[in-house]
Amino acid sequence: MAKSLEEMAAKGRRKLSAKAGVIASNWSAAKSTMTTEYGALPFGPSTKAAYNASISVAQHPGVDVDKWERKWRAGVTR
């Protein structure tokens, strides 16, 4: 029996909510890669310094499960 749209959305919400901590942790762990890769781009030293400073204090914005569901529903009902 096929699952309803509501059941699929609920499953997706549960899975995303369960992964939220890992997503934020992985993002934080990738900060050094972000600065290294940006450093290889052809920007000047002051632009690179500003980017590095902003990345060093940046926090992951968090997982917005409601936004995910809205976008998922819009995508599957086109």
How many folded domains does the chain comprise? 1
Of the candidates 60, 55, 64, which has an alpha carbon nearest to the alpha carbon of residue 24? 60
In a domain, 41, yes or no: yes
Question: What is the residue range of 49's domain?
Answer: 35-59
pLDDT digit string, tens, across residues 6-36: 999 999 999 999 999 999 999 999 999 999 9
In a domain, 76, yes or no: no
C-alpha distances (whole Å) from 76 to each of 4, 40, 41, 55, 65 are: 12, 38, 37, 34, 16
**What pLDDT is attached to residue 6?**
94
User: Is residue 7 a contact partner of residue 73, using CB atoms and an 8 Å limit?
Assistant: no
pLDDT digit string, tens, across residues 31-67: 999 999 999 999 999 999 999 999 999 999 999 999 9
In a domain, 19, yes or no: no
**What pLDDT is attached to residue 1?**
79
